Chains A and B, each alone.
Chain A
Amino acid sequence: MINIQHLKKNFGQNEVLKDISLTVNRGEVISIIGSSGSGKSTLLRCINLLETYHDGTITFEETDILKFPQGINHYRAQVGMIFQSFNLFNHLSVLQNCVIGQVKVLKRTKADAEALAIKTLETVGLKDFIQASVSTLSGGQKQRVAIARTLCMEPKVLLFDEPTSALDPEMVGEVLQVIKSLAKEHRTMIIVTHEMSFAKEVSDRVIFMDQGFICEEGKPEELFLNPKEPRTQAFLSRFIQ
């Protein structure tokens, strides 16, 4: 579904992605782990074209994403992104956060959009907060709204960039629960996370990134229990302590 070939990205002199090749199959859940600064966010942001890249190619359903016939915005609408810092639209209510994209981008009617938004908000457990103002929500609730907002666009792929890193510990569970249920629906997802037991549980494949390279990848059991690369071992040992 997504095919990344020899992707390179630098910020000035700083080479952040050095040679990334990765194929994501339909319905596959991939977790990306790795220490801070290894390029995980940049990789997701390149896939969603929030960053430009000048070397390598990314194709989505066989089409180069830079040459999407209906344009970049049309492509982006099919690839949902969930950010560490939620980035909810602060001037809109919970419901409107989930409606505005459907109406303005997908040109759905307000009634259709609201119906889907309400249904989606119910599935993430926010039935009672539909009319709430975003500023009244807890972090965990905000991130669930952000997930609902993305789901309402009915994207074909979901990208999560450390969805629980900005949350108080007691709220991590409720967000991971939502992501787990999405994994059960066999959605295509790429999840950058530091929650190792969660990654082990939901992913079909785990990727360990280090200094702009994919250092090791494999099935979760293999990578977590039997890491081959010394760097993977060193990284994981820090988490076991």
Chain B
Amino acid sequence: MILLSSAIPNDLLGAAYYLAVKYAPLFLFGIRNTLIIALTSTIIGLFLGLAVGLLKSIPVLPDDPTWKKFAIKLIHFVSSAYVEVFRGTPMMVQAIFIYYTFLNFFKLFPLLGSYKLTAGIVIVSINTGAYMAEIIRAGIQSLDKGQNEAARSIGMSNFQAMFYIILPQAIKNAFPAIGNEFVVNIKDTSVLNVIGTTELFFQANTVAGTTFRFTDTFFVAAILYFVLTYSTTRVLAIIEHRMQVPVSGGPSSSSTPGLIAHTEKQV
């Protein structure tokens, strides 16, 4: 052990390179899990956010019977409570709480051989859903209310107007914020270390614990995190550019074939 440590170069860059190469399989496994959790949780969180955003936008009409008004208000309350609680508490606390509350459940459904991966995805998804709900709500509110009125005036139901007219535009407008959630999740999966999910931070911790080289090891981890987030940001920027966001208002330039092909699918 002592021999092994002393083989590590003493300068930061040299040590980092040495550790990165020597423990590459551990780091790569961490990166794999970090990306799996961040990506699936962002996608699940988006759907969760859509569902909650939709529930929150069910209108209470003055003519509805009392029981219906009550039911809708209850749904609004529960949705708001979910959003507020999960945005207003640290994810590390949520992680420990959810993990130990549903431990037996997670053990029944291991993913890729690890129930801690399942737990990690569930935790980050629920947390992301709360943020996504707000992103979707803001995306819907950014649209002119004339969009909804035009849809209703040609006879669409509330649901059809939402599904075919409002949401496609809201999601398109919210794309930068949705992409940002993915980047945030790549970093925030590190809190899953507290429940022992083998993501990148956990793996770095393991390497540091073996080598007693904390600065050097976490320098490697920092570089790896940065490469992941920076390349993701660049890819998202390219996609965003292709989509020609924002949809409403501002003068948007030419109609690229890509845009037409994209919108044609939605009819």
Which residue numbers of A lie inside 8 Å of B, CB to CB? 48, 50, 52, 73-74, 76-81, 83, 85, 87-93, 96, 99-101, 103-106, 110, 131-133, 135-136, 146, 149-150, 153
**Total CB contacts across the A-B interface at under 8 A:** 99
Which residues of chain B come closer than 8 Å to A150, judged between CB atoms? Answer: 153-154
Q: Is B84 an interface residue (CB 8 A)?
A: no
Interchain CB contact under 8 A, A101 and B267: no
| Given A133-B259, A133-B260, also A76-B267 (CB < 8 A) | no
A104, chain B: closest CB distance, angstroms: 5
Interface of A is mostly: mixed
Chain B, residues 236-265, CB within 8 Å of chain A (1/0): the string is 000000000001100110110001100110
Which residues of chain B come closer than 8 Å to A89, judged between CB atoms? Answer: 147, 150-151, 165, 169
Interchain CB contact under 8 A, A74 and B155: yes
Q: How far is the CA of A93 from the CA of B267 in the complex (A)?
A: 10
Q: How far is the CA of A50 from the CA of B157 in the complex (A)?
A: 12
Interchain CB contact under 8 A, A92 and B263: yes
Q: What would be 30 A-B contacts, judged by CB atoms less than 8 Å apart?
A: A48-B153, A73-B157, A79-B153, A81-B150, A81-B153, A83-B153, A87-B147, A89-B150, A89-B151, A89-B169, A90-B247, A90-B248, A92-B266, A92-B267, A93-B255, A93-B263, A99-B267, A100-B164, A100-B267, A101-B154, A104-B160, A104-B164, A105-B154, A105-B156, A105-B160, A133-B252, A135-B251, A136-B254, A136-B255, A146-B150
Q: Is B168 an interface residue (CB 8 A)?
A: yes
A118, chain B: closest CB distance, angstroms: 14
B192, chain A: closest CB distance, angstroms: 37
8 Å CB interface, B74-97 against A: none
Q: How far is the CA of A76 from the CA of B148 in the complex (A)?
A: 13
8 Å CB interface, B170-218 against A: 172
Q: A131-B260, A133-B255 are in contact. List 18 more A-B contacts (CB 8 A).
A: A50-B149, A73-B152, A89-B147, A89-B151, A90-B248, A91-B168, A91-B169, A91-B266, A92-B263, A92-B266, A96-B264, A100-B164, A101-B154, A104-B156, A105-B154, A105-B160, A131-B255, A135-B252
Interchain CB contact under 8 A, B154 and A153: yes
Chain B, residues 30-73, CB within 8 Å of chain A (1/0): the string is 00000000000000000000000000000000110000000000
Chain B interface, number of residues (Cβ within 8 angstroms): 32
A144, chain B: closest CB distance, angstroms: 15
A166, chain B: closest CB distance, angstroms: 11
CB nearest to A84 among chain B residues: B146
Interchain CB contact under 8 A, B263 and A87: no
| Given A73-B156, A105-B160, A135-B252, also A91-B263 (CB < 8 A) | yes
Q: How far is the CA of A153 from the CA of B153 in the complex (A)?
A: 10
A176, chain B: closest CB distance, angstroms: 21
Which residues of chain A come closer than 8 Å to B254, judged between CB atoms? Answer: 136
Which residues of chain A come closer than 8 Å to B154, judged between CB atoms? Answer: 76-77, 80, 101, 105, 149-150, 153
| Given A83-B150, A90-B248, A132-B255, also A77-B155 (CB < 8 A) | yes
Interchain CB contact under 8 A, A93 and B153: no
Interchain CB contact under 8 A, B155 and A153: yes
Interchain CB contact under 8 A, A88 and B267: no
Which residues of chain B come closer than 8 Å to A80, judged between CB atoms? Answer: 153-154
Which residues of chain B come closer than 8 Å to A135, judged between CB atoms? Answer: 251-252, 255
Q: How far is the CA of A165 from the CA of B39 in the complex (A)?
A: 48
CB nearest to B153 among chain A residues: A81
Which residues of chain A come closer than 8 Å to B263, judged between CB atoms? Answer: 91-93, 96, 133
Which residues of chain A come closer than 8 Å to B252, judged between CB atoms? Answer: 133, 135
Q: How far is the CA of A149 from the CA of B172 in the complex (A)?
A: 23
Interchain CB contact under 8 A, A105 and B155: yes
Interchain CB contact under 8 A, A90 and B149: no
Which residues of chain B come closer than 8 Å to A93, judged between CB atoms? Answer: 255, 260, 263-264
Q: How far is the CA of A76 from the CA of B254 in the complex (A)?
A: 34
Q: How far is the CA of A76 from the CA of B158 in the complex (A)?
A: 12
Which residues of chain A come closer than 8 Å to B260, judged between CB atoms? Answer: 93, 131, 133
Q: How far is the CA of A99 from the CA of B154 in the complex (A)?
A: 11
Q: How far is the CA of A93 from the CA of B168 in the complex (A)?
A: 13
Which residues of chain B come closer than 8 Å to A74, judged between CB atoms? Answer: 155
Which residues of chain B come closer than 8 Å to A78, judged between CB atoms? Answer: 155
Q: How far is the CA of A99 from the CA of B164 in the complex (A)?
A: 12
Q: How far is the CA of A44 from the CA of B144 in the complex (A)?
A: 19
Which residues of chain A come closer than 8 Å to B168, judged between CB atoms? Answer: 91
Which residues of chain B come closer than 8 Å to A91, judged between CB atoms? Answer: 165, 168-169, 172, 247, 263, 266
